[in-house]
């Protein structure tokens, strides 16, 4: 058995996970990221011990512990940084191993989610594939021949920061045109607000945000587009156009077997999948040749805990 820890900006979720990627027991607590790393790590340790106790297991029955972090760790398990948590150079592996006496493995959350989908989700029966997590930002995780591909410098994949066009606002990273400024939930919200401000067009969106545009989210926009709302449709079409460019860049670059769409935007489900599949097929380079299957992620927000446990299962590469 393994333990998977999903260290998120809002919650820390921890689960006991079996060999096949099935969560047998889990709990979560609030992250409260304004605290010191040591305090968060103490919470993780306490929660690991709590779920073991609740499930009547001893720590020595756990083969290894995996952690998915919203940032970057080096090969020794030191967290180089997690921007949203304000962490820099935190020896997370050592701190957890010293307390729990069990091997600890750490990887990026988007990478971890890709491994979860590979082990027990939509990439099962594939050898290689890629997962795009379309959330507040965009993360990428690459699996090659059943293992995480982490790159030469361990940076893995920062697909959200590949430049694919010109945009009306700059990315947090300082550049202009990053994929995540076109196809994340943040991006579609920003663009929809811009349309509402600039177009003199009635929209049912306003009836769905209780009169406060700050309540706008990607789900509302997709729902209003499905109902034919003009502004919502323009915003969805723009996201589809640029997500199509992003996906075709992946296809034209590494020609993967499968591309999995996860994160909040993928919550739009079959509606999103139909639109993006049509867009990609219309613009693919080799018209007569097959390209990667495009599918929705299956594990939702369980991918973090499952994938972290699977990182533990795969151990050091």
Nearer to its own copies, 80 or 99 (CB): 80
Please tell me the count of residues contacting its own copies according to CB under 8 A.
45
Nearer to its own copies, 216 or 247 (CB): 247
From 125, 168, 212, 289, residue interacting with its own copies (rule: CB under 8 A):
289
The total of other beta-carbon atoms located within 10 Å of residue 230's CB is: 15
Distance from the first to the final alpha carbon of the chain: 19
From 153, 200, 212, 270, residue interacting with its own copies (rule: CB under 8 A):
153
Q: Mark residues 112-141: x for contact with its own copies by CB under 8 A, - for none.
A: ----------------x-----------x-
From 154, 207, 269, 315, residue interacting with its own copies (rule: CB under 8 A):
154
**Alpha carbon distance 37, 86 (integer Å):** 9
Nearer to its own copies, 86 or 202 (CB): 86
User: Quick check: 168 binds its own copies (CB under 8 A)?
Assistant: no
**Alpha carbon distance 243, 222 (integer Å):** 15
**Chain Cα centroid distance, residue 67:** 14
From 91, 103, 165, 300, residue interacting with its own copies (rule: CB under 8 A):
165
Backbone dihedral angles phi then psi of residue 28, each to the nearest 5 degrees:
-145, 160
Residues in CB range of 290: below 8 A, 6 or more apart: none
- Which one of 39-47, 156-164, 187-195, 295-303 is the stretch in contact with its own copies (CB under 8 A)? 156-164
- DSSP state, 178? B
The arrangement of strands across the sheet holding 293-296 comes to 147-148, 138-144, 129-134, 258-262, 293-296
Q: Which residues bind its own copies (CB under 8 A)?
A: 72, 80, 128, 140, 142, 144, 149-159, 161-166, 173, 175, 177, 245, 248-257, 283, 285-286, 288-292
């Amino acid at each position: 058995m393994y333990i998977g820890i999903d260290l998120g900006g809002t919650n820390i979720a921890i689960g006991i996970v079996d060999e096949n990627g099935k969560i047998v027991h889990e709990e979560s607590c609030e992250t409260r990221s304004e605290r010191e790393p040591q305090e968060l790590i103490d919470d993780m340790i306490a929660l690991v011990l709590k779920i073991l106790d609740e499930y009547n297991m001893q720590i020595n029955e756990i083969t290894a512990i995996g952690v998915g972090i919203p940032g970057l760790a080096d090969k020794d398990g030191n967290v180089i940084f997690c921007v949203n948590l304000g962490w820099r150079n935190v020896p997370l592996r050592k701190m957890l191993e010293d307390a729990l006496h069990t091997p600890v493995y750490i990887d990026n959350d988007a990478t971890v989610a890709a491994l979860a989908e590979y082990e027990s989700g939509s990439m099962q029966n594939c050898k290689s594939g890629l997962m795009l997590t379309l959330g507040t930002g965009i993360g990428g995780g690459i699996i090659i021949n059943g293992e995480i591909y982490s790159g030469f410098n361990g940076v893995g994949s920062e697909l959200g920061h590949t430049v694919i066009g010109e945009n009306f606002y700059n990315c947090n990273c300082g550049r202009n045109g990053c994929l995540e400024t076109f196809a994340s939930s943040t991006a579609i919200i920003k663009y929809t607000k811009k349309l509402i401000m600039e177009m003199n067009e009635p929209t049912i969106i306003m009836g769905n945000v209780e009169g406060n545009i700050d309540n706008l989210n990607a789900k509302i926009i997709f729902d209003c587009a499905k109902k034919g709302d003009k502004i919502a449709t323009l915003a969805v079409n723009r996201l589809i156009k640029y997500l199509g460019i992003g996906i075709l860049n992946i296809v034209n670059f590494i020609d993967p077997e499968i591309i999995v769409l996860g994160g909040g935007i993928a919550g739009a489900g079959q509606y999103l999948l139909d639109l993006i599949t049509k867009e990609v097929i219309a613009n693919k380079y080799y018209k007569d040749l097959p390209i990667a299957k495009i599918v929705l992620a299956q594990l939702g927000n369980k991918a973090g805990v499952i994938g972290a446990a699977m990182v533990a299962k795969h151990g050091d590469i």
